[in-house]
Amino acid sequence: MFKEKIMVEVIFAIAFLSFLVFSDASTASMIGVNYGRLGNNLPSPYESIELLKTMKAGRVKLYDANPEILRLLSGTNLHVSIMVPNEQISAVAANQSVANRWVRDNVLSYYPNTMIRYILVGNEVLSNKDDQSLWYDLVPAMRNIKKSIDEHNIHNIKIGTPLAMDILQTSFPPSSGEFRLDIQRNNLLLPLLRFLNWTKSYFFIDVYPYFSWSQNPSSISLEYALFEGSHTYTDPVSRYVYTNLLDQMLDSVVFAMEKLGFYSIRLAIAETGWPNGGDYDEIGANTYNAATYNRNLVRRITSQPPIGTPARPESAIPTFIFSLYDENQKGGPGTERHWGLLHPNGRPIYDIDLTGQVPEAELSKLPQPTNNGPFHGKLWCVVTKDFVNEMDLGHVLEFACRRNETCDEIAPGKSCYQPVSIVSHANYAFSSYWAKFRKDGETCHFNGLAVQSTIDPSHGSCKFPYVSL
């Protein structure tokens, strides 16, 4: 019944999107969308591909090479990016026959009817300091994949790897951009840059102005992060003038490459976006800012001629917005689950035109946000209203109660034992656990079963622990 309801809503959403936001059916955007699937309530791959087509996305980026999705993409105009997952990199690097088999199974089985244009090897591999052996397998795996597709005379697929901004040791001002010393000392960057330069591929970067701004809102203007306003920044060395934070961040990567002697490797944005929601303690995460950022991003990337960045003027930058859906099974802070362009029922969270052709005035207005500054008050961590499985809740409750003194007050005879209900006890346990261990990086998530609340669940003599901000 739930799946049938989702299907009906998705069909309506496709019609709604077509009517509301998009006009010229012959125009597909050069903007791509990341299609993540970490949710237990998402539309089927078929419905998702239909939504992407209706949205006039020009590209779609997958985090694997899912056979069903690649079959469904056959015959569409979508340019497709597939991924060698991190756990397969070492095998592909160690053995050319493994790489050949990967290409046979995941490329040749679908190409050219499915327009695969990028093969990305791994995801943010150089950010994982816990498994540095993978660092050394990255470029050999890329070489083996390249050799395999060359043997089949496939020349329009580029091989790359998406990296995060934490590969930089310094990024401000942009002219000071320099790669981390640990990956420079271990001779990891030069082979990678040589490969990208030789193959005329892209340096794929995950770049999120939201994080740079939200971690330092007193020093960075929100309007500057959202491509709004008249604020500019002049680099004291290059004298380039910046009008937005994204260009600043991209050029710091450009300067880092140039310091190692690489002046012409093109940039591609593997991920960017802005969260449409989050926890109370995450400032600036709202639909207004998300719509503003992504609408302005699209207009900039689709401009003709291309605008580029100050260090790379008139250089087109392939760009993938993160992400297609809000994904409710992602861990971490609340923003992690709120980057979507669409709700799980397929309807838009806010209007956006991926072609860059619809005037701003024709897109729906959004109410001004209230969380662009820090939250001040008390917060509790309680069971989400839409949990469906008491067994799952019981397992998470047991986990929360394992740490010292977390659940003492819900023991028989103690002040919070009554009422004897799994939800009431979980509310106490989650609030207690989060209050005790938030300073250690713990979040109010508990496998997606908990949310932050400003409503005090205390009752009678039972006083619930809380976090004060």
Rg (CA), the chain: 24
Distances 108 to 112, 154, 227 between C-alpha atoms, Å: 8, 10, 41
Cα distances from 91 to residues 106, 112, 127, 141, 158, in angstroms, run 15, 26, 20, 8, 20
The answer to whether 102 and 88 have CB atoms below 8 angstroms apart is yes
Report the alpha-carbon distance of residue 435 to residue 296 in Å, rounded. Answer: 39
- Cα 355 from Cα 54, distance rounded (Å): 11
Q: Residue 403: which of 430, 378, 433 has the closest Cα? A: 433
The answer to whether residue 9 is catalytic is no
Catalytic-role residue among 124, 178, 223, 228: 124
Q: Considering 9, 47, 271, 327, which one is annotated as catalytic?
A: 271
Distance CA 237, CA 255 (A): 11
Is residue 151 part of the annotated active site? The answer reads no
For residue 389, what are its two tokens?
């499985």
DSSP code at position 360: G
Q: At 195, which amino acid appears?
A: F
Distance CA 35, CA 340 (A): 10
Q: How far apart are CA 181 and CA 176, in angstroms?
A: 14
Work out the end-to-end distance of the chain between its first and last CA atoms, rounded to an integer number of angstroms.
42
Catalytic residues: 124, 271
